[in-house]
Amino acid sequence: MADVDVSNSGQSQPFPELRIVLIGGRELRGNPSNRSKTGNIILGKSVFDTKRRTAQCAVGQQAVHGRQVTVVDSPGWWWHYPLENTARLDQLEIKNSIYMCSPGPHAFLIVIPVDSVFPHIFKLSLEEHLKLFHKNVFKHTIVLFTAQYSAVSLEDEISAWPALKWLLEQCGNRKYVLNIHNTQDSTQVKTLFEKIEAMVAENAGGYYSTDLAAGDALRQEMQAIAHRASERFAEVQTQRRKLKALIEGERQPNTDLRIVLVGRKESGKSMVGNRILLDELFDTSLMKKEFQCNRETSKCVKRIRNVFRVDVTVVETPGWPTDTTIPPWLKDEVLRGASMCAPGPHVFLLVIAISKAFTEKDLKAIEEVLKPFSERVWRHCMVVFTWGDWLSNRSIEEYIAAEGTALQRLLEKCRNRFYALSYYGGAVMELFRKISDIITQNKGQCLTTEDKPGKKQKLLWRLKQPTLTEEEWDRREQELIDRMLKAVAQEPEEPTLRSVKMSGSLDEAFIPYMSGEAPSEYGGPIWRQKARAKVSEWLKFGAGNSDVTSGVDSMSVSASYMEKLDGNPLTDKIHHAMQCFYPEKDKTMNHTRVSTDSVKTQHRHSF
């Protein structure tokens, strides 16, 4: 049943109570939406966290100018995304915003920076996302422009963007400019309240009412997602404990590591490559261009670096647009990318952006790209989720549970191996440990290509270990049985589940700029202010798992951990991690070192 408008006549002005919902999108670059800051200005106190994205609806209440004011801060979406590309978790939270101020909001404030661009694609995105509410939402809406200074030329901005003019027409030309830096001027908030009350009067004293049955169904769906997320976390923890017992003593010395990155455009493959190689070797500025670039072809990019005295090769393959079929040239290029790290890759990392929905089209695209490698390729695959900061205080398991069957089938193909990586930081050593587990499970085998003159490239399965005798097979089988019994015996009756929330803001978790000279051009002030730390300094501190994340798929470092980071020297965390990943290095590595004298480049045209 759809939400309906109801009237509440007979109220006098000023209203004793005002209920406000803040909505809006986010730009890829440039201005933030400033919704959280706007909410704090309206309430006259710091209620909403302005240092990280709002992933769950947040509510603040305060007596302001003789009114009891309730403000709901809702998650934003990418302005250039249609509704189908917005993650399911975000869609549910946006819908939930109207149920956070029962019986319903008096006003929706669409928050837009006054100097923001507003092309036609933003108009389409806004129209689709407002369909999450009732069609009459515009009757209760004011466009709130946020400004950095007092003197603004709003009319010039409106005339420059026809889509913005259309929006104002839909809202009855109701608009207001809020100076977000002049927090001491209480008159601007009072004037905003008067505009809201005038709008309510135009609606015969009515507020936007909600359907109780629809609200109950929404809450049940969100509870089901939280339950499935907890179950997945427990399942992954159980799998990890058993795997640890099964592969104990099986890790082989590794002198090199070869990785291929696969994913669609906008997924963040370059960022993943830079994090693995601990340097800005892939051009992340290309990520900014992906939303405008429609190139028909692009090439694989290869980077090599000695990391922890191990030669690490990373090949980034071209991405593909969301709404397109996979062209033959792209499959050939991915195949060529695998041959660029001869004798073949140990691991394929399937890169998926958390800030976007994962659909059946995405699953079919990945399957199509990997099809030339045969079904054996899935033994070497792991999903890496990027832009983990987008989830803020949500867990990666919640995202997986909400996205539906397509993503879950992909994870099943990858044997439930996944990792979430934050743009601003995270324990990258956990990613190396997971890669080491894959290599160990595959007995050191890698998927390789063999070039034959006059024939198409043929995929082979390279076995690095000699043929085993029957006696050796019996011995290994018995060891496997013993380890399985040990793993089952150690399994707790009720696995301990973590909280599904994570702490830490964008300020608290970061990776330094690895070249040590100039900060990256990508990212906001937080990155630029903190990115000058050298790798040698960064590695003086542990980069272990967060105590509020799963430890398997952590995205960000917890606030408690980061508070300790500034005061504690290196313990044995890095040493122990490297001992597990490269056991033969244990006797020779007295300290962690990154060599910078081995960097090779092939083609610079990949997205």
Residue 287 has pLDDT above 50, yes or no: no
- Cα dihedral sign, 411-413-419-421: negative
Long-range contacts at 271-275 (CB < 8 A, ≥ 24 apart): 271/386, 271/421, 271/423, 272/349, 272/351, 272/384, 272/386, 272/421, 273/303, 273/314, 273/316, 274/514, 275/421, 275/428, 275/431, 275/511
CB atoms closer than 10 angstroms to residue 293: 12
Task: Catalogue all structural domains in the chain, each as residue range(s) with its CATH number.
Answer: 9-210 (3.40.50.300), 251-446+532-602 (3.40.50.300)
Nearest Cα neighbor of 389 from 38, 32, 55, 43 is: 55
The listed range with the strongest mean pLDDT (171-185, 483-497, 583-597) is 171-185
Q: CA 20 from chain center: how many Å? A: 28
Q: Which of 207-221, 355-369, 440-454, 480-494 has the lowest mean pLDDT?
A: 480-494
Instruction: Please compute the mean of the pLDDT values over residues 194-217 and round it to a whole number.
Output: 91
Q: Helix or strand or coil: residue 93?
A: helix
pLDDT at 480: 63
Q: What is the pLDDT of residues 23-65, one digit of tens each?
A: 999 876 545 668 999 999 999 999 999 988 999 999 999 999 9
Nearest Cα neighbor of 111 from 188, 26, 192, 196 is: 26
Residue 463 has pLDDT above 80, yes or no: no
Tokens for 171?
């809202």
Q: CA 231 from chain center: how many Å? A: 21
Backbone angles phi, psi at 160, to 5 degrees: -75, -20
Backbone angles phi, psi at 280, to 5 degrees: -85, 70
Residue 596 has pLDDT above 70, yes or no: no
Q: What is the pLDDT of residues 89-130, one digit of tens each?
A: 999 999 999 999 999 999 999 999 988 889 999 999 999 999
State the number of CA atoms in the 13 A half-sphere of 374 facing the CB.
Answer: 8
Q: CB of 170 within 8 A of CB of 130?
A: no
CB atoms closer than 10 angstroms to residue 255: 10
Q: What is the full DSSP assignment across 29-57?
A: SS----HHHHHHHHHTS--S-SSS---S-
Region for residue 493 given its phi and psi (left: phi exceeds 0; alpha: psi -120 to 50; beta: otherwise):
alpha
Q: What is the pLDDT of residues 390-437, one digit of tens each?
A: 998 899 999 999 998 999 999 999 999 999 998 776 668 889 989 988
Distance CA 114, CA 147 (A): 6
Summary mean pLDDT of the chain: 76
pTM of the complete model: 0.75
Nearest Cα neighbor of 41 from 174, 197, 147 is: 147
Q: Are strands 347-353 and 256-262 parallel, antiparallel or unpaired?
A: parallel
Q: Which residue has the higher pLDDT, 530 or 439?
A: 439
Tokens for 427?
């324990």
> Quick one: angle between helices 35-43 and 187-202, nearest 10?
100
Adjacent-strand bridge partners of 62: 69
Q: CB of 576 within 8 A of CB of 545?
A: no
Distance CA 98, CA 108 (A): 9
Residue 79 has pLDDT above 80, yes or no: yes
Q: What is the full DSSP assignment across 210-246?
A: --HHHHHHHHHHHHHHHHHHHHHHHHHHHHHHHHHHH
